[in-house]
Amino acid sequence: MKSFELFIERLVLSSRWVLVVFYLGLAASLVVYAASFLLKLYKIALHAFDSSEAEMILAMLSLIDAALVAGLVLMVMLASYENFVSRFDEENTGLTWLGKLDAGSLKVKVASAIVAISSIHLLQVFLNIAEYTSERIMWQTIMHMVFVISAVALAWLDNMTAKKH
């Protein structure tokens, strides 16, 4: 009976390697997103001299937004791999900061990135306010505030949990 239990435990523990498929998929999505980013950058460069300042600001905000999204994907991919599959070899990678990202701090960082992305979207709305209805602006502002409150709550909970340990 003990050997059967040991077999099941090893099987369950080994199943964590299935997650690698998801992380490789995220890495592939970053490559596709990078190509999309380069295309967007090319289009901005083509119209750099015939665009208004407001249009250039909106274009730059969309590039910043893309960089934040890519960073979010990378952060989730690396930290999740380290937390759930296998530790990175610090000597070969130089990624000493990864060991400090546990599930709680990862949630706070993800929530903070979502708030930053939402802030950029809301700023884009405010810079282009004529194209939006009052109701849509109101709902986007409410959604942003929900993200902010959620991030603060997650950070507070993570801080409370850290103090107990």
The two structure tokens encoding residue 144: 């942003």
Of residues 134 and 110, which shows the higher confidence score?
A: 134
* Cα–Cα distance measured from residue 44 to residue 119, given in angstroms and rounded to the nearest whole number: 21
Asked if pLDDT for residue 159 goes beyond 60, the answer is yes
- Distance CA(52)–CA(119), nearest Å, equals 22
Considering Cα of 111, then 150, then 22, then 33, what sign does the dihedral take? Answer: negative
What pLDDT does 76 receive? 84
Q: Is 28 left (phi over 0), alpha (psi -120 to 50) or beta?
A: alpha
pTM of the predicted structure, to 2 decimals: 0.72
| pLDDT tens track for 52-102 | 888 898 899 889 989 988 988 988 888 888 877 887 776 666 666 555 666
Which pLDDT belongs to residue 165? 58
Mean pLDDT, rounded, for 139-149: 94
Are 82 and 139 in contact by the 8 Å Cβ rule? The answer is no
Burial class (CB in 10 A: 0-12, 13-18, 19+), 97: exposed
Domain layout of the chain by residue ranges: 19-90+100-164
Helices (H), the chain: 2-14, 19-46, 53-84, 90-93, 103-127, 134-164
Which pLDDT does position 137 carry in this prediction?
A: 92
* pLDDT tens per residue, range 3-55: 888 888 888 888 889 999 999 999 999 999 999 999 999 999 999 899 888 88
Give the model's pLDDT for residue 96: 62
